[in-house]
Amino acid sequence: MQNGRRGAYVIAHNGDPVNGGGWNNQQLMKDCGLVPYLLQKNHGFKSVMVGIKFDADYPYLEQYLRGLELDFLPEDTVQARINYIDSHAGDMDLLILYGAYPDYIPLVARYRSVRPDGKIYLATDMNIDWADRLPHEDPAYKNFLHSCDVVAASCRAAQKYLSVKWSVPVELIRNGWYNFFGVNFDDMRKENVILTVGRIGSTQKQNHILLEAFAKVANDLPGWRVRLVGGIEEAFKPYVEKFFAARPDLRERVTFTGLIADKNTLMEEYKRAKIFCLTSNFEGGTPNVVAEALFSGNFTICSSFDAAGDMTDDNECGRVFPIGNVDALANILREVCRDEKLLRDGGQHAAAYAREQFDMNKIVARLNYLLYGGDAT
């Protein structure tokens, strides 16, 4: 510990298929970046994110996350991570890991050998199906889990399941959001917009379900529009062409914006929408977009993956439909889009629910307490 400050180090998973063992700029504004940032900002830590260099530039560091540091590894290997732990052990009072990957076993073993007094926070953010594929009966894997001071899941279903399967206490620590933008539900001017945000056209996101459901009810919902925000997968573009060829009347009512990297511009999309819709066939835990949608007062409609109850506060601010069921989603859209009071009340509830359960200031303060008790510095 230097100058009385604890050091919090977030080490990326080796060989991650999405991020290649590093952090990208977009992730800095998700929980994996916000947790260390707020430990630094609110609780006096020196916070460092460690991995290979993934993006050429990281503009969010200067725009939003000043004080958070990035440290780049020379290569994407387990040994490079172990070497890093050896070199920085004296400053590494808190080791933060995302995902319960077996590759973390040697990292945790080395960290425990050089910093027996240190703390480890393991944020799993996983679904039940993925948990079942992990080697939970392997003694080395069990020891890895029991070596962590705080183990967390981001949704209630996973928390309950893992607590039993792993025989370790599992905390519910949600993927929250930090209100950099002064978002206030009472100041929003909502429009008849159904919004989705993510990797448009990916197999996981199942965006065709929303398009087909909207096509079924569009004539019953004049004035309503759909906006799909995010980069479009190449494999999905032929489907989009066929969709508009079959329904040319919807070209002006269904908009693909492409990727919106600027966070202020993205928040304007959430603020104008009345409904946020997520049609995924699975999610890792609670998607990060959920907190953004809830803070923005979006009535949330989602498929029945593990975190659906967390997203809708058990139908208090949204609705859930069976995964892949176009007709069920269409019926929900037909019902809720015609009920202005439901949307207004649901939006107000969503914003209040977000402030209570998804505020990253509160989430990180609780994590700090779980790790260090009443000693918050």
Question: Which residue did the predictor score with more confidence, 170 or 285?
Answer: 170
Distance CA(54)–CA(22), nearest Å, equals 5
pLDDT tens for 215-228 read: 999 999 999 999 99
pLDDT tens for 96-136 read: 999 899 999 999 999 999 999 999 999 998 889 989 999 98
- The pLDDT, as a whole number, for residue 232 is 97
CB atoms within 10 A of CB 365: 16
Read off the pLDDT band of 377 (50, 70, 90). Answer: very low
CB 111 within 8 A of CB 138: no
Identify the structural domains of the chain with CATH numbers, from first to last: 7-178+359-372 (3.40.50.2000), 185-357 (3.40.50.2000)
Does residue 1 carry a pLDDT above 60?
no
Q: What number is the average pLDDT over the span 14-32?
A: 79
Does residue 235 carry a pLDDT above 80?
yes
- The pLDDT, as a whole number, for residue 18 is 54
Question: Which residue did the predictor score with more confidence, 10 or 1?
Answer: 10
Q: What are φ and ψ of residue 200, in 5° steps?
A: -70, 125
pLDDT tens for 165-214 read: 999 999 999 999 998 888 887 778 999 999 999 999 999 999 999 999 99
Polymer length in residues for the chain: 377
Q: What is the mean pLDDT of the chain?
A: 93
Read off the pLDDT band of 20 (50, 70, 90). Answer: low
Q: What number is the average pLDDT over the span 287-316?
A: 95
Distance CA(370)–CA(338), nearest Å, equals 45
Does residue 3 carry a pLDDT above 70?
no
Distance CA(69)–CA(46), nearest Å, equals 8
- The pLDDT, as a whole number, for residue 351 is 95
Could you give the angle at the alpha carbon of 306 between the alpha carbons of 302 and 312, nearest 5°?
40
